[in-house]
Structure 1
Amino acid sequence: MKYTKLPNTDIKVSKICLGTMTWGKQNTEAEGFEQMDYALDEGVNFFDTAELYAIPKERETQGRTEEIIGNWFKRTGNRSKVVLASKIAGPSKFNEHFIREEGFTKAAFDDAIHGSLKRLQTDYIDLYQLHWPDRTTNYFGKRDYEHENDEEWKDNIQGILQILEGYIKEGKIRSIGLSNEVPWSVMRYLEESKFNGLPKISTIQNPYNLLNRTYEIGLSEISIRENVGLLPYSPLGFGRLTDKFIENKGIEDARLVLFPEMSRYNGKQSIEATKQYYDLAKNNGLSLATLALAFVNKQPFVTSNIIGVTKMHQLKENIDSIQVELSDEVLSGINSIHNSIPNPAP
């Protein structure tokens, strides 16, 4: 395994992060335990979860993923070996859920953090993230920003950082991050921390993969110049960037088949680009998944690549991608495909 540190901290994390959102929905507790056991044995010390999980979200499974992780901590005593990330859900009017209605108020943070700590059976969270903004903007597959009359939203970024600073001082969280965010607010958070002595965000968790490189348009420069690392999710595009769809093998229980509402990666251009990436991978002795993950792993703005699987053979392949170095010829081929079909799945 390869390691780095969460930016602006001394917290050492593996370059591969274990995503957990299928546990409690597609995966049983026993399967979640097996994934954590294997990942830790392979040097993966960074796990990511959220109070919202499992996904797709349902009232009956909300919080179940954190419970599974907590039960594993209790059974194994491995809490000290894991860097644990979780998230507070944003307001439900932007992404309907069953937790609470309000945005990032003190009461919401109290409810979210204490609920997560209880389910996770721990007294601290290493990285605490805002799952999505509490204002109207373009995220979750929306390509362009269209300004809406959102006078009810007032700039509360300084207040959010002040609230989070309190939890850091209490020892309940160690560092903070954003998720599903855009350049404007990332710079606002950095501005508040710089000029008001408030905690600095360490990471941004956004989608990033061969079919969606929109992070490179504005956020990657911020990551590098401001030392804020990307934690890319969906590096395989909900499984689209794997051999199985091209070869039509084992797709009956794939997420894109089971949950057709997750349609971001099902467009014609995404499918065409995927075919070209598949051919490039095979011509260079690689699986498509390995090609896709190795590309993400090498980006200088990436802190840790969040993988998520339902089967153990997928987990092994994904973790092994950290050992693969793509040649200049392969990288040139990737960029050629990207230039001809740029970002078909924003």
Structure 2
Amino acid sequence: MERRKLGRTGIEVSALCLGSMTWGTQNTTEEGHTQIDRALDAGIDFVDTAEMYPVNPISAETIGRTEQIIGMWFERGGARGDMVLATKHSGAGMRHVRDGAPISGDSIPQTVEGSLRRLQTDYIDLYQFHWPNRGSYMFRQNWTFDPSGQDPVAVRQNMDDCLGALQREVDRGTIRAFGLSNESAWGTSEWLAAADRTGGPRVASVQNEYSLMCRLYDTDMAELSVNEDVGLLSFSPLATGLLTGKYQGGVVPEGSRLSLSPDLGGRKTPRAFEAVDAYLGVARTHDLDPSQMALAWCMTRPFMCSVIFGATTMDQLEVAIGAADLTLSDEVMADLDSVHRNHPMPY
């Protein structure tokens, strides 16, 4: 398994990352533990979670359950040193966690402690802010995003306060690195400037949606990532299962993401299915598994640190693991580029 640097932290992670957001709803504790064991056997030592997980659905009753499942893996004898563990601090608008309070210097200590307790560990390798307090263009909000109501002075003051709190956690040894999620180029650059200004931890990574069908990152964020050593941790690299082809023709497999989220978070559109048909055609032409092709393509991107995938079955996990050994030919890459030009932003 290829290993890549996590920003300028000195930490290295596997090029594929095991996502955990279904553990506790779509997956049992035992299934989550089996996934961890198999991933580690395959050289995938990077595991991503969040205090708000599991999802599908998100509910007040299940908040924190996924972190608890990972903690039980450690309790049962899993070696902490074998895993690079990432989790996230929820923020403004997440009503199930702290009544939707924004991320602040005051919220960080208690939130870190809560994650440490549930995870049954003394430290978190990568501590991420799940989304910006000021709002985000992610999750299809790019169609109507309006930043005109932001107060840059207040935003920068909050960043300074948060980095102060994060630095105290670094000094305490509870976190090793800091990352963002659902962020913009302006926001990331401001966090970098705040680190220079305050001496707080420098942003190491950004976890944003990215796939053959969602390529917003290719523009300003790509340039920032490469030049500032802030790598992308891509989530939904299979477009919530669309790129597997399993939903084509109106099929809704029992227990699938589509059966639980009828519009796939705004991704289910007629244009999306047309784009999937085209990508499946590339896979057929070159005798490739479409899931492996989509994951392997993500790993080729110049700004990619690690590709986060989720699995609800062991068969799905095995397919994802196989993507690590797949090298896409120039012909495949050219065909994928052609599909993108013909089907840009399909949702």
**TM-score, with structure 1 as normaliser:** 0.95
1:201 to 200, 203, 221: 203
1:213-232 aligned at under 5 Å gives the runs 213-232=215-234
How many matched pairs? 343
Q: CA deviation at 1:206?
A: 0.2
TM-superposed CA distance for 1:139, in Å, is: 2.1
Question: Could you tell me whether the CA contact under 8 Å between 2:237 and 2:295 is conserved in 1?
Answer: yes
1:126 aligns with 2:110: no
SS in 2 for 1:266: coil
Answer yes or no: is 1:337 the counterpart of 2:336.
no
Q: How far off its partner does 1:150 sit?
A: 4.7
Kindly provide the CA deviation profile for residues 124-165 of structure 1, in whole angstroms up to 9, marking residues without a partner as x. Answer: 000000000111342222124313535598222122111111
Shift of 1:113: 0.6
**Structure 1 residues 25-44: aligned runs within 5 Å:** 25-44=25-44
CA distance 1:152–1:59, change in 2 (3 Å): farther
- Describe the superposition over 1:177-226 as per-residue Cα deviations: whole angstroms up to 9, x where unpaired: 00000111101011122344322100000000011011001101100000
Partner of 2:191: 189
> What is aligned with 2:24?
24
Give the residue type in structure 2 aligned to 1:120. Answer: L
Letter aligned with residue 23 of structure 2: W
Question: What SS does structure 2 have at the residue aligned with 1:85?
Answer: strand
* Aligned residue in 2 for 1:307: 309
Tell me the SS of whatever aligns to 2:4: strand
Distance 1:165 1:42 in 2: 34
Shift of residue 100, structure 1, vs aligned partner: 3.5
Matched, 1:68 2:81: no
- 1:264: Cα distance to partner? 2.4
- Worse overlay, 156-165 or 304-313: 156-165
Question: Which residue, out of 171, 179, 183, partners 1:169?
Answer: 171
Report the secondary structure of 1:176's partner residue.
strand
For the Cα contact (< 8 Å) 2:109–2:165, is it kept in 1? no
| Counterparts in 2 of 1:300 and 1:64: CA distance versus 1, 3 Å | same
Conserved? CA contact 1:66–1:120, under 8 Å = yes
Distance in 1 between residues matched to 2:62 and 2:82, nearest whole Å: 26
Is the CA contact 1:137–1:146 (under 8 Å) kept in the aligned structure 2?
no
Question: Gapped runs of 5+ residues in structure 1?
Answer: none
State the partner residue of 1:328: 330
Structure 2 length normalisation: TM-score? Answer: 0.95
Q: State the alpha-carbon separation in 2 of the partners of residues 315 and 153 from structure 1.
A: 45
After the TM superposition, which residues 1-346 of structure 1 pair with which residues of structure 2 at under 5 Å, given as runs? 1-55=1-55, 56-92=57-93, 95-144=94-143, 145-150=145-150, 154-155=154-155, 156-246=158-248, 251-345=253-347
CA deviations 1:13-65 (Å, max 9, x no partner) are 11110000000010000110110111111111100000000013111111000
Residue identity matched to 1:201: V
What residue identity is the alignment partner of 1:33?
Answer: H
Q: Is the 8 A contact 1:129 1:178 kept in 2?
A: yes
Q: Distance in 1 between matches of 2:252 and 2:135?
A: 38
The answer (yes or no) to whether the contact 2:105–2:161 under 8 Å persists in 1 is no
- Tell me the CA shift for residue 318 of structure 1: 0.4
Amino acid at match of 2:193: E
Change (3 A) 1:265 1:76: same
CA RMSD of aligned residues (A): 1.7
Aligned 8 A contact 2:105 2:163 in 1: no
Deviations 1:76-127 (A, max 9, x none): 23111100000000112xx443434321223311221100000000010000
SS at 1:40 equivalent: helix
